[in-house]
Amino acid sequence: AALADAPLPVLGHDVRVPLVTGGEVPYAALDYAASAPALRRVWDDVAAYAPYYGSVHRGAGYLSQLSTDLFESSRADVAAFLGCRPADQVVFTRSTTDSLNLLAAVVPAGTRVFVFETEHHASLLPWERREDVEVTYLDAPRTPGQAVRTLEEALAAREPYGPALVCVTGASNVTGELWPVRELAAAAHAHGARIVLDAAQLAPHHPVDVTELDVDWVAFSGHKLYAPFGAGVLAGRADWLQAGEPYLAGGGASRKVARRDGGGVDVEWHDTAARHEAGSPNVIGVYAIAAACKALTEAGFERLVEREQRLVEAVRAGLAEVPGVKVLSLFGDDAPRVGVISFVVEGWNSSHFAAALSAEYGIGVRDGLFCAHPLVRTLLGDESVEPGECGAPEAGPSLNALRVSFGAGTPDEHVERFVTAVGELV
Ligand code: PMP
């Protein structure tokens, strides 16, 4: 039973950090929501492959063939991990941000996009860049049911329309709260709209099955799913991806390029995932994502979810004991959430608090507005916040927040140290 409840081995948790108060402690990485440490198993798999990597789709040699095979079998592994439908495409990108920008680039002209103002900037901002797309921003809901009603009303109010797309997060990167994805998908489809799921925070904490959730696309990042930086995924319906202009123009995306009579070139583009994967792909990053997907599945994702929920409850209970700590939530303090918890401490500048956790306890959390400025402002109830760069700690006391986040690799000790540290600092 003890083994079944053990965290998965990850890199970086044995790093020792000096404390200003003297001595040193093992680093407590409690900022998984920004980037999770890589699983040791992913590292081992990548290290075993690294001596053999070669160009993908671009070479006749043995190592090129091997790399091409691994690249394509990684696509199949990711499709299996996501429960993709047979006709779905898995496109490899650089990140969730890249995936959502890619989808925004290919949505048909005239598409109506519906997005909650509570989204991460990666889900909120790409649509506005298309001048031929109309974006409807939906108010922050205060319950999951209200989210569904708000969406239904907005969809109904704008009918009839041609193509329409709803973009929604599966788990908030600020509150960690789970959004009612299945219900939102049903509402979207009932009104003839499609839905893309930003699973950047959901996929590392919960199995995501696009067939079961009935979402049209899903996006996530490798570096939050226990793989390294530099690779991400957009998976889902092929039609809009096939009809849209290639995301990048270049080799790999083009099937045939010929000189045009009278000057210029005629291009015939691929209509598979390759259409949006121009240039030499990040085969190591992609292989690492597939390794992470397999590692999570083999470890028993449900058991990891249960374990993480135990840690969530420990943090919730611990913070509830500390006077002046306010946990941020849209759907209520008891709403189901993944291992992502934001809070403010009365009388403290969140940046100073985060600095003290680091310097005095060797704990790494995040402070700021978490690239979701409208949501954090709503939660803090202060419309006057003028943040600097994404997350820069320029705001004054309580104008930004703290976020503690954890996952499959987090030992109990990190969470316990965190709760103790918050109490001691207060
Ligand atoms: N969506 C959500 C919900 C996120 O938390 C993040 C990362 N914080 C992103 C999108 C963007 O991910 P990336 O920075 O890997 O592109």
pLDDT, tens digit (0-9, with 9 covering 90-100), for 29-75: 999 999 999 999 999 999 999 999 999 999 999 999 999 999 999 99
Q: Which of 31, 92, 97, 373 should be mutated for ligand 1, with most atoms under 8 A from CB?
A: 97
CA-based R_g, the chain, Å = 22
Q: How far is the CA of 122 from the centre of ligand 1 (A)?
A: 6
Cα 197 to chain center, whole Å? 10
Same domain as 330, residue 205: no
Q: Which of 371, 389, 405 should be mutated for ligand 1, with most atoms under 8 A from CB?
A: 371
Is residue 10, in this structure, part of any structural domain at all? no
Q: Which atom of ligand 1 is nearest to the CA of 94?
A: 16
Phi, psi (degrees; rounded to nearest 5) at 282: -85, 80
Q: Which atom of ligand 1 is nearest to the CA of 122?
A: 10
Same domain as 56, residue 201: yes
The two tokens of residue 294 are: 């397999």
Residue 184 near residue 166 (C-beta atoms within 8 A): yes
Selection from 90, 299, 330, 116 nearest residue 204 by Cα: 299
Q: Which of 35, 120, 181, 337 should be mutated for ligand 1, with most atoms under 8 A from CB?
A: 120
The secondary element (H helix, E strand) that includes residue 342 is: strand 340-345
Q: Which CATH number fits the domain that encloses residue 203?
A: 3.40.640.10
Same domain as 420, residue 316: yes
Same domain as 388, residue 406: yes
pLDDT in tens, 261-292: 999 999 999 999 999 999 999 999 999 999 99
Same domain as 287, residue 208: yes
Residue 222 near residue 288 (C-beta atoms within 8 A): yes
Q: Which atom of ligand 1 is nearest to the CA of 221?
A: 15
177 lines ligand 1 (CB under 6 A): no
Same domain as 131, residue 50: yes
Is residue 407, in this structure, part of any structural domain at all? yes
Task: Domain count for the chain, please give it.
Answer: 2
The two tokens of residue 34 are: 């920004």
Residue 389's pLDDT is 46
Q: Do the interacting molecules here have an ipTM over 0.95?
A: yes
371: annotated active-site residue: yes
pTM of the model: 0.95
198 lines ligand 1 (CB under 6 A): yes
Residue 398's pLDDT is 52
Cα(100)–Cα(87) distance, integer angstroms? 20
Question: What is the sign of the dihedral through the CA atoms of 71, 77, 81 and 85?
Answer: positive
Same domain as 62, residue 184: yes
